Amino acid sequence: MRHEMPTLLYATDALTPHMSAETLKFHYGQHLRTYVDNLNKLIEGTPYEDLELEEIVCKASGSLFNNAAQVWNHIFFFDTLTPFPSPMPEVVDEALHASFGSVEHFRRKLFDASMGLFGSGWVWLVANDKCQLTIIVEPNAGTPITKGYVPLLTVDVWEHAYYIDHRNRRADYLQALWQLFDWQRVAERMAGAQCNIYF
Ligand code: MN
Protein backbone atom coordinates (compact mmCIF):
# COMPACT_ATOMS: atom_id res chain seq x y z
CA MET A 1 0.00 0.00 0.00
CA ARG A 2 1.37 3.33 -1.04
CA HIS A 3 0.98 6.12 1.49
CA GLU A 4 -0.22 9.42 0.09
CA MET A 5 0.15 12.99 1.24
CA PRO A 6 -2.86 13.97 3.35
CA THR A 7 -5.07 16.72 2.01
CA LEU A 8 -4.54 20.01 3.79
CA LEU A 9 -8.00 21.20 4.82
CA TYR A 10 -7.14 24.89 4.36
CA ALA A 11 -5.14 26.99 1.92
CA THR A 12 -1.44 27.45 2.69
CA ASP A 13 -2.03 31.17 3.31
CA ALA A 14 -5.16 30.64 5.42
CA LEU A 15 -3.38 30.57 8.80
CA THR A 16 -1.75 33.97 8.47
CA PRO A 17 -0.79 35.99 10.44
CA HIS A 18 -0.29 33.19 13.01
CA MET A 19 1.48 30.82 10.61
CA SER A 20 2.83 31.97 7.27
CA ALA A 21 2.27 30.41 3.87
CA GLU A 22 6.03 29.93 3.62
CA THR A 23 6.09 27.88 6.82
CA LEU A 24 3.26 25.68 5.55
CA LYS A 25 4.93 25.37 2.15
CA PHE A 26 8.05 23.97 3.81
CA HIS A 27 6.51 22.17 6.78
CA TYR A 28 3.62 20.48 4.97
CA GLY A 29 4.93 20.60 1.41
CA GLN A 30 8.51 19.52 2.04
CA HIS A 31 9.13 18.09 5.52
CA LEU A 32 5.98 15.96 5.55
CA ARG A 33 6.47 14.95 1.91
CA THR A 34 9.98 13.73 2.72
CA TYR A 35 8.64 11.58 5.57
CA VAL A 36 5.93 10.14 3.27
CA ASP A 37 8.50 9.39 0.52
CA ASN A 38 10.90 7.78 3.01
CA LEU A 39 8.07 5.68 4.46
CA ASN A 40 7.11 4.40 1.00
CA LYS A 41 10.73 3.52 0.19
CA LEU A 42 11.32 1.77 3.51
CA ILE A 43 8.26 -0.51 3.34
CA GLU A 44 8.79 -1.57 -0.27
CA GLY A 45 9.16 -5.36 -0.50
CA THR A 46 8.70 -5.83 3.27
CA PRO A 47 5.77 -7.22 5.29
CA TYR A 48 5.01 -3.62 6.28
CA GLU A 49 3.87 -2.94 2.73
CA ASP A 50 0.33 -4.19 3.45
CA LEU A 51 -0.15 -2.56 6.86
CA GLU A 52 -2.09 0.56 7.76
CA LEU A 53 -0.05 3.54 8.93
CA GLU A 54 -1.08 3.10 12.60
CA GLU A 55 0.00 -0.55 12.54
CA ILE A 56 3.39 0.35 11.09
CA VAL A 57 3.91 3.00 13.78
CA CYS A 58 3.04 0.50 16.53
CA LYS A 59 5.18 -2.36 15.16
CA ALA A 60 8.21 -0.73 13.54
CA SER A 61 11.46 0.48 15.07
CA GLY A 62 14.43 2.53 13.95
CA SER A 63 14.22 4.50 10.75
CA LEU A 64 10.88 3.02 9.68
CA PHE A 65 9.31 3.94 13.02
CA ASN A 66 10.75 7.47 12.81
CA ASN A 67 9.37 8.15 9.33
CA ALA A 68 6.00 6.44 9.85
CA ALA A 69 5.45 8.15 13.20
CA GLN A 70 6.42 11.52 11.73
CA VAL A 71 3.83 11.00 8.98
CA TRP A 72 1.14 10.10 11.52
CA ASN A 73 2.10 12.95 13.88
CA HIS A 74 2.08 15.55 11.11
CA ILE A 75 -1.28 14.45 9.71
CA PHE A 76 -2.65 14.83 13.24
CA PHE A 77 -0.89 18.17 13.77
CA PHE A 78 -2.18 19.82 10.59
CA ASP A 79 -5.64 18.46 11.37
CA THR A 80 -5.46 20.17 14.80
CA LEU A 81 -5.23 23.64 13.27
CA THR A 82 -7.95 25.76 11.72
CA PRO A 83 -8.19 29.21 10.12
CA PHE A 84 -11.57 29.63 11.85
CA PRO A 85 -11.23 28.70 15.53
CA SER A 86 -14.55 28.41 17.32
CA PRO A 87 -15.05 29.08 21.02
CA MET A 88 -13.97 26.14 23.15
CA PRO A 89 -16.86 23.63 23.41
CA GLU A 90 -18.15 23.11 26.92
CA VAL A 91 -17.08 19.47 26.99
CA VAL A 92 -13.43 20.48 26.39
CA ASP A 93 -13.63 23.38 28.84
CA GLU A 94 -15.02 21.11 31.55
CA ALA A 95 -12.46 18.39 30.87
CA LEU A 96 -9.56 20.88 31.08
CA HIS A 97 -10.99 22.27 34.32
CA ALA A 98 -11.34 18.78 35.77
CA SER A 99 -7.80 17.74 34.85
CA PHE A 100 -5.80 20.98 35.14
CA GLY A 101 -7.86 23.29 37.36
CA SER A 102 -8.51 25.83 34.60
CA VAL A 103 -7.97 26.41 30.88
CA GLU A 104 -5.33 29.01 31.72
CA HIS A 105 -3.49 26.53 33.92
CA PHE A 106 -3.59 23.96 31.13
CA ARG A 107 -2.25 26.54 28.70
CA ARG A 108 0.62 27.36 31.04
CA LYS A 109 1.46 23.66 31.53
CA LEU A 110 1.36 23.05 27.76
CA PHE A 111 3.66 26.06 27.19
CA ASP A 112 6.04 25.04 29.97
CA ALA A 113 6.25 21.48 28.64
CA SER A 114 6.86 22.77 25.10
CA MET A 115 9.51 25.25 26.25
CA GLY A 116 11.15 22.58 28.39
CA LEU A 117 11.50 19.97 25.66
CA PHE A 118 15.22 19.78 24.88
CA GLY A 119 15.77 19.50 21.13
CA SER A 120 13.09 18.18 18.77
CA GLY A 121 9.86 16.44 19.63
CA TRP A 122 6.16 16.69 20.31
CA VAL A 123 4.03 17.74 23.27
CA TRP A 124 0.62 16.08 23.46
CA LEU A 125 -2.65 16.55 25.27
CA VAL A 126 -3.95 13.01 25.64
CA ALA A 127 -6.70 11.08 27.39
CA ASN A 128 -5.89 7.93 29.31
CA ASP A 129 -8.17 4.89 29.53
CA LYS A 130 -10.10 6.57 32.38
CA CYS A 131 -10.60 9.66 30.19
CA GLN A 132 -8.33 11.73 32.42
CA LEU A 133 -6.51 14.37 30.42
CA THR A 134 -2.77 14.73 30.74
CA ILE A 135 0.20 16.27 28.95
CA ILE A 136 2.96 14.02 27.70
CA VAL A 137 6.29 15.02 26.16
CA GLU A 138 7.80 12.88 23.43
CA PRO A 139 11.28 13.41 21.97
CA ASN A 140 11.92 13.14 18.22
CA ALA A 141 9.16 11.14 16.48
CA GLY A 142 7.54 9.95 19.72
CA THR A 143 3.79 9.43 19.55
CA PRO A 144 1.12 8.54 22.12
CA ILE A 145 -0.55 5.94 19.91
CA THR A 146 2.15 3.40 20.81
CA LYS A 147 1.33 3.88 24.51
CA GLY A 148 -2.41 3.42 24.64
CA TYR A 149 -3.28 7.08 24.96
CA VAL A 150 -5.91 8.86 22.89
CA PRO A 151 -4.28 11.97 21.41
CA LEU A 152 -6.42 15.11 21.54
CA LEU A 153 -4.05 17.94 20.56
CA THR A 154 -0.37 18.33 19.76
CA VAL A 155 2.41 20.88 19.53
CA ASP A 156 5.14 20.19 16.98
CA VAL A 157 8.24 21.40 18.79
CA TRP A 158 10.70 20.70 15.97
CA GLU A 159 12.57 23.85 14.92
CA HIS A 160 11.30 23.38 11.35
CA ALA A 161 7.80 24.19 12.69
CA TYR A 162 8.76 27.72 13.71
CA TYR A 163 12.16 28.81 12.42
CA ILE A 164 10.88 30.57 9.28
CA ASP A 165 8.32 32.68 11.16
CA HIS A 166 9.92 33.07 14.56
CA ARG A 167 13.61 32.12 14.17
CA ASN A 168 14.72 30.79 17.56
CA ARG A 169 11.78 32.26 19.52
CA ARG A 170 9.88 29.12 20.44
CA ALA A 171 7.71 31.04 22.92
CA ASP A 172 6.40 33.30 20.14
CA TYR A 173 5.52 30.24 18.06
CA LEU A 174 3.57 28.76 20.99
CA GLN A 175 1.61 31.98 21.45
CA ALA A 176 0.74 32.04 17.73
CA LEU A 177 -0.13 28.34 17.63
CA TRP A 178 -2.61 28.76 20.49
CA GLN A 179 -4.66 31.03 18.18
CA LEU A 180 -4.99 28.22 15.63
CA PHE A 181 -6.07 25.25 17.73
CA ASP A 182 -9.30 23.67 16.56
CA TRP A 183 -11.13 22.99 19.82
CA GLN A 184 -14.03 21.53 17.88
CA ARG A 185 -11.67 18.80 16.62
CA VAL A 186 -10.49 18.23 20.19
CA ALA A 187 -14.12 17.74 21.24
CA GLU A 188 -14.67 15.31 18.35
CA ARG A 189 -11.60 13.33 19.37
CA MET A 190 -12.87 13.19 22.96
CA ALA A 191 -16.22 11.95 21.70
CA GLY A 192 -14.43 9.38 19.52
CA ALA A 193 -12.68 8.10 22.63
CA GLN A 194 -16.07 8.12 24.37
CA CYS A 195 -14.69 10.65 26.83
CA ASN A 196 -17.69 12.94 26.45
CA ILE A 197 -19.76 10.72 28.73
CA TYR A 198 -17.53 11.52 31.72
CA PHE A 199 -18.01 15.27 31.69
MN1 MN B 1 7.04 19.09 11.88
If phi > 0 it is left, if psi is from -120 to 50 it is alpha, else beta; for residue 167 that is left
pLDDT of residue 122 exceeding 90: yes
Number of compact structural domains in the chain: 2
Average pLDDT over residues 134-146: 97
Q: Does the residue 183 lie in any domain?
A: yes
DSSP state for residue 129 in the 8-state scheme: T
Query: Per DSSP, which regions of 60-177 are E strands?
Result: 121-127, 133-139, 150-156
User: 35 with 126, same domain?
Assistant: no
Tell whether 56 and 94 lie within a shared domain.
no
CA–centroid distance, 115 to ligand 1, in Å, is: 16
Q: How far is the CA of 98 from the centre of ligand 1 (A)?
A: 30
State which amino acid sits at residue 136. I
82 with 179: CB under 8 angstroms?
no
Chain centroid to Cα 18, Å, comes to: 17
Q: State percent of the chain over pLDDT 70.
A: 98
| Distance in Å, CA 27 to ligand 1 centroid | 6
Sheet of 133-139: strand order equals 133-139, 121-127, 150-156
For residue 6, the CA-to-ligand 1 centroid distance in Å is: 14
Same domain? 68 vs 153: no
> 109 with 149, same domain?
yes
pLDDT tens by residue, 47-93: 999 999 999 999 999 999 999 999 999 999 999 999 999 999 999 99
Domain extent, residue 156, equals: 90-198
Most distant CA atoms of the chain, gap in Å = 50
Are residues 108 and 151 located together in one domain of the fold? yes
149 and 100 within one domain = yes
Asked whether residue 97 falls in the same domain as residue 173, the answer is yes
Cβ atoms < 10 Å from Cβ of 30 = 11
Task: From 56, 33, 35, select the one nearest 46 (Cα to Cα).
Answer: 56
Q: Are residues 117 and 187 in the same domain?
A: yes
Interval between CA 25 and ligand 1 midpoint (Å)? 12
Name 155's bridge partners. Answer: 123
Residue 4 lies inside a defined structural domain of this protein: no
Cα–ligand 1 centroid distance for 155 (angstroms): 9
Q: What is the pLDDT of residue 140?
A: 98
Could you tell me the distance, in angstroms and rounded to a whole number, from the CA of residue 75 to the centre of ligand 1? 10
CA of 199 to the centre of ligand 1 (A): 32
Task: Look at residue 16 and tell me if it is in a domain.
Answer: no
pLDDT tens-place string over residues 24-39: 999 999 999 999 999 9
- 148 and 73, same structural domain? no
Q: Please check whether residue 137 lies inside any domain of the structure.
A: yes
Q: How far is the CA of 42 from the centre of ligand 1 (A)?
A: 20
Distances (CA, A) of 124 to 11, 44, 146: 25, 31, 13
pLDDT of residue 193: 83
